[in-house]
Amino acid sequence: EDANKHLQIAVDAASAVMQEGIYDLFPSYANMFQHEGDGPQNKENVFVKVYGADYDNPIVTHNNSRDMENGRFAPTRNLLEYYLCTDGLPWGQSPLTVPETSYNSIFQNRDSRLTMSVYQMGETAYKSAWVPITASQRTAYACKKGYNQADWDNLNKATVDKALIRYAEVLLTYAEAKYELNG
């Protein structure tokens, strides 16, 4: 019932993590979700699910890259619309919004994280060029972020760690909660 109480808890928790001084942003968004982002050298990982050391030592594994190909992680059209344009304005409200004359139009003039997260038509994806389909990809959009060809090749032996809480999310939580509390 008291939103400000919960917002203050979020500010306090994020502040505590920030004051530890041990976290930092990883220099590459794309590599954050690959083997390059694994391990203690990645100071963006606050809470991470650690998998096997490598394909020869698969203590715990996953199959995320195959699951992406099979459409188990299907980005929605609504998600794509949430990515801002390069001028920082929402898609559809920015003068940089491109009329949708093709499947790839929605990717133009957008935050670069969109094209690192979702495949464009014709881009090499999984085994070949991406063609929008709804048979395996329920939304006709295909997840790209975190796809790893070596993990795909080693069926059921994928070892890329999964960041559950990233420092970027701590910073965003802090900024949003402070804004809601104080404008």
Q: To the nearest 10°, the Cα dihedral for 174, 172, 51, 29? A: -150
What is the band of 55 on the pLDDT scale with cuts at 50, 70, 90? confident
DSSP per-residue string spanning the chain:
--HHHHHHHHHHHHHHHHHH------S-HHHHTSGGG-STT-TTEEEEE---SBTTB-SS-B-HHHHHHTTSS---HHHHHHSPBTTSSPTTTSTTPPP-SSGGGGGTTB-HHHHHHBPPTTSEETTEE----SSSSTTS--B-TT--HHHHHSTT-B---EEEEEHHHHHHHHHHHHHHHH-
pLDDT-derived band at 64 (thresholds 50, 70, 90) equals confident
Note whether 179 and 22 are within 8 A (CB).
Answer: no
pTM, two decimal places: 0.82
As a whole number, mean pLDDT of residues 139-168 equals: 88
Q: What is the pLDDT of residues 66-119, one digit of tens each?
A: 888 888 888 999 999 999 999 999 999 999 999 999 999 999 999 999 999 999
Q: Percent of the chain beyond pLDDT 70?
A: 98
Task: Please work out, in degrees rounded to the nearest 5, the angle formed at the alpha carbon of residue 92 by the alpha carbons of 88 and 95.
Answer: 65
pLDDT computed for residue 59 by the predictor = 78
Reported as a pLDDT band with limits 50, 70 and 90, residue 174 is very high
